[in-house]
Amino acid sequence: MSDDSGTTKGRAIVFLGPPGAGKGTQAKVIAERLGVPHLSTGDMFRDHVARGTELGRQARAIMEKGGLVPDELVTAMVASRIQADDCRADYILDGFPRTVAQAKALDDLIGGRWEGPVVIDLAVEYNKLIQRLTGRRSCPQCGAIYNVLLKPPAREGVCDIDAATLIQRKDDEETVVRERMVAYDAQTRPLLEFYGGRPLFFEVDGDRPPEQITNTLCRLLVRAEGRAES
Ligand code: AMP
């Protein structure tokens, strides 16, 4: 849905943070609590890959190597998604923006109505991130997530819920994880400076139990509510 200027009406809540910081987990829970859409660009690309679309074909090779899909492709995909009616109020962006060019494009898409997006950076120490990512396994049937190092299933390699064989995402393999970190440092970390001085930028300690982080985020978002509209 667009207003007269062609920009979206809703308030964007952006989850930043390196791979493995827990953005996806928190974004999903917060979206459920607030009853707003959770837009994960990684999920959108995985869906395109699974459906074998042209975009999926272009993204696939890049994703498997741990690189970033070109800005124009990502931005066009997000621009079209946030015009939908369900983004007229708040919506959560998980994994976008990932470069300064994407952040500038988001500012343009949001337009003058808001003071910019609410930005939450989840901060987690490097070695912890590597453990979280390389240890991550998921159930292809029910979607349950485990970690062989931090939260193993009762029986190795098997889902506690439905006994399906657990799988590892290709981009969670160690060499790919290191590449994703390199991409994060070079292209996404500069966003901390880009957003850092803004009143709606919040840094949150991501190295705590997930429920504690969720509570902090809920409190923050209530605080941001009053400040968001310009
Ligand atoms: P994620 O699930 O968010 O870690 O995303 C998985 C992969 O999708 C990333 O490693 C990138 O290859 C690609 N991707 C997702 N979001 C973006 C983005 N905003 N810009 C560029 N590439 C992206």
- In short, whether 153's Cβ falls inside 6 Å of ligand 1 is no
43, 60, 68, 177: which to mutate for ligand 1, most atoms within 8 A of CB? 68
Pairing of strands 145-147, 136-138: antiparallel
- In short, whether 63's Cβ falls inside 6 Å of ligand 1 is yes
pLDDT digits (tens, 9 = 90+) for 40-79: 999 999 999 999 999 999 999 999 988 999 999 999 999 9
Given a cut of 70, the residues of the chain with pLDDT beneath it are: 1-9, 112-114, 226-230
Q: Which two tokens stand for residue 141?
A: 């049937």
Amino acid at 87: C
Q: How many other C-beta atoms lie within 10 A of the C-beta of residue 92?
A: 24
Task: In whole angstroms, give the CA distance from residue 205 to residue 124.
Answer: 7
Catalytic hit among 11, 81, 132, 136: 136
Amino acid at 171: D
Nearest CA to ligand 1 atom 15: 42
The answer to whether residue 23 is catalytic is yes
pLDDT score recorded for residue 171? 86
Helix, strand, coil percent values for the chain (each to nearest 5): 50, 15, 35
pLDDT score recorded for residue 181? 94
The answer to whether residue 81 is catalytic is no
